[in-house]
């Protein structure tokens, strides 16, 4: 069977209908769980060259099937890929298609790996902050999440944190719920590893956030 047929063989029409209602994006759903998709992509990956993975990921994304797009992202979610420019280019080409958090997050996790591998790609991501497409703006913060997580950041990592906090400041007045949630997510995750930076951001920009986002961003911070 082809990879698409592998996915279709696991289809559950009842769950597919539930997923269509939940995700709301107008596309086909098969009703397959993420662990089921991961099992398939792990198997496919062992039999494919990098060029084969790229071709399959591109093909699966073009189907517009929810689970096929998740599978496409998972095929490219790997810390070490060399060379990886074609992988990054393919992920970037998907960003304008984002129309819901689930597919956006799976693809963004693949993008995170490529950004960590080559932080100069943040120049591309920075331009997304001004995009008229909300999901592209959101992807800028989600793909940059790895820089909230280091316990022992190097000077270049601290510079990137400061840079992305600038993006958060730019997006803080944006009243789209998903953007508010993304800014809060970034600052909250940063607060686990750099409470001082998170507090400084909230002191300067917290009042520009929606109340729920400000509360979420500060949730893990110890109150003085």
Q: At what angle do helices 101-117 and 85-94 cross, to 10 degrees?
A: 150
Per-residue pLDDT for the chain (224 aa), expressed as one digit of tens each?
A: 999 999 999 999 999 999 999 999 999 999 999 999 999 999 999 999 999 999 999 999 999 999 999 999 999 999 999 999 999 999 999 999 999 999 999 999 999 999 999 999 999 999 999 999 999 999 999 999 999 999 999 999 999 999 999 999 999 999 999 999 999 999 999 999 999 999 999 999 999 999 999 999 999 997 54
* 161/149 Cα distance (integer angstroms): 10
Three-class SS of 30-95: CCCCHHHHHHHHHHHHHCCCHHHHHHHHHHHHHCCCHHHHHHHHHHCCCCCCCCCHHHHHHHHHHH
**What pLDDT, on a 0 to 100 scale, did the predictor assign at position 224?**
45
Instruction: Write the pLDDT tens digit of every residue in 95-105.
Output: 999 999 999 99
**What pLDDT, on a 0 to 100 scale, did the predictor assign at position 223?**
57
Q: Which residues contact 151 (CB under 8 A, 6 or more apart)?
A: 193
> Domains in the chain and their CATH numbers?
1-117 (1.25.10.90), 139-224 (1.25.40)
Q: Which residues contact 164 (CB under 8 A, 6 or more apart)?
A: 141, 144, 147, 186
pTM, 2 dp: 0.95
């Amino acid at each position: 069977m082809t990879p698409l047929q592998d996915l279709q063989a696991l289809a559950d029409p009842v769950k597919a209908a539930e997923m269509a209602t939940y995700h709301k994006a107008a596309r086909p759903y098969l009703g397959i769980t993420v662990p089921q998709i991961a099992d398939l992509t792990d198997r496919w990956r062992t039999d494919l060259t990098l060029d084969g993975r790229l071709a399959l990921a591109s093909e699966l994304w073009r189907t517009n099937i929810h689970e096929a797009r998740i599978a496409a992202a998972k095929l490219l979610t790997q810390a070490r890929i060399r060379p990886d420019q074609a992988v990054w280019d393919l992920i970037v080409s998907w960003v304008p298609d984002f129309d819901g958090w689930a597919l956006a997050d799976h693809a963004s996790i693949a993008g995170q790996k490529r950004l960590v591998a080559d932080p100069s790609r943040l120049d591309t991501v920075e331009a997304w902050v001004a995009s008229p497409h909300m999901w592209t703006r959101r992807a800028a913060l989600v793909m940059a999440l790895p820089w909230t997580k280091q316990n022992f950041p190097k000077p270049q990592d601290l510079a990137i944190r400061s840079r992305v906090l600038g993006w958060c400041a730019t997006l803080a007045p944006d009243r789209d719920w998903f953007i508010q949630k993304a800014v809060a997510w970034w600052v909250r995750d940063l607060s686990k590893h750099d409470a001082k930076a998170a507090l400084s951001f909230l002191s300067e920009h917290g009042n520009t956030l929606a109340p729920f986002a400000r509360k979420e961003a500060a949730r893990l911070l110890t109150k003085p």
